[in-house]
A and B are shown apart, each in its own frame.
Chain A
Amino acid sequence: MAVIEISCREVWREVSNYIDNAVDPELCERMEEHFKGCEHCTAVLDGTRNVVRLVGDGRVFDMPAGFGDRLKAHLAQKLGS
């Protein structure tokens, strides 16, 4: 059975859910078929996925140096432990 076409605009609306594996199988198939023939939407998908991977790495936001020591001292002072 032929896959029903989907527009670029619909793809952009769902690309975040697609990255999160939160689209239903039928929509997923339509989007994947669209990506095969649309360079722009593929670029949008790859770039958006890269953003998610980059920040998910854990190195983008670190605690300031000495944060733990200062927190421990603050708690000890306030809690008397």
Chain B
Amino acid sequence: MNLDHVERDEGGLSWMDDEGLSATPKPLAQIRMVRTLEQELALIERVCTGETRLFYELISPYKRSVYVAAFSVLQNEADAEEVAQEAFLKAFANLSSFRREAKFSTWLIQIAVNEARTKRRKDRKALYESTDETDPEEEEGDYCPKDLADWRETPAETLQRTELRRALRNAIASLHPAHREVFMMRDVENLSIAETAEVLEISPALVKTRLLRARLKLRDALAPGIDGAWSVCDGSWKKVRPW
């Protein structure tokens, strides 16, 4: 993923004024960047009754979530974008069946995950990557974290550095698909344990098991120690070995 050419989302917010959802963004002083559950349900109702033009406005706050859900399964930008587009079309086609007591965002993410898994199954790459629900590693007992150096620095500033973000993405990509999907839903999409279980159609206990393993493996991959530390070298941040 090229971080120099990325699109920021609206952080889960939508352009609104006192008259409801507006077709075009208004100056900041004139808008309230909020959308209540009631307003979202009203918007869904309007789309269901024929106001198709409002669909993009409805799903706009969730573009990133749906894209990330597809990416978590496919690990390819182009494939994730294609699947995200198809997931939104599928959501439109099935909007009338959306259960109002569920969270719209979770419903969208679940569609995206299912679409992405379908594509992965069709993809030849699936021949080389297990997608089984059962992960043999989970039957081998506890995962023992490596004895690495302490990593107490607050990572907020270091995340500004492209190198660390790239290392983080690579480490996530190297996880077993079953662990990666759980980690992405829980820690990137910020779904709850129950929502993650619902989206991935596994038990909450299995979510916790896979989440633990994913987090510990990522810590092992990224913490200073065996593979060096994050330091400033020649004006840029690089992972350097201690020897």
Which of B166-198 touch A at CB < 8 Å? 168-169, 172, 183, 187-188, 190, 193
Q: Is B48 an interface residue (CB 8 A)?
A: no
Check if A12 sits within 8 Å of B144, measured CB to CB. Answer: yes
A40–B150 CA distance with the chains assembled, in angstroms: 8
Please choose the segment from B26-34, B108-116, B209-217 that sits at the chain A interface, where 4 or more of its residues have CB less than 8 A away: B209-217
Q: Is A62 an interface residue (CB 8 A)?
A: yes
A40–B223 CA distance with the chains assembled, in angstroms: 13
Query: Which of A13, A20, A54, A63 lies in contact with B63, CB distance below 8 A?
Result: A63
A19–B79 CA distance with the chains assembled, in angstroms: 33
Check if B144 sits within 8 Å of A54, measured CB to CB. Answer: no
Check if B208 sits within 8 Å of A12, measured CB to CB. Answer: no
Check if A44 sits within 8 Å of B165, measured CB to CB. Answer: no
Q: Nearest residue in A to B145 (C-beta to C-beta)? A: A44
Number of A-B residue pairs having CB atoms within 8 Å of each other in the complex: 152
A26–B68 CA distance with the chains assembled, in angstroms: 37
A74–B8 CA distance with the chains assembled, in angstroms: 19
A64–B165 CA distance with the chains assembled, in angstroms: 15
Which chain B residues border A20 with CB–CB below 8 Å?
A: 193
Q: Nearest residue in A to B166 (C-beta to C-beta)? A: A60
Check if A51 sits within 8 Å of B218, measured CB to CB. Answer: yes
Which chain B residues border A9 with CB–CB below 8 Å?
A: 142, 144
Check if B7 sits within 8 Å of A55, measured CB to CB. Answer: no
9 A-B interface contacts by CB (under 8 A): A13-B212, A19-B215, A46-B150, A60-B165, A61-B1, A63-B9, A64-B7, A68-B7, A74-B89
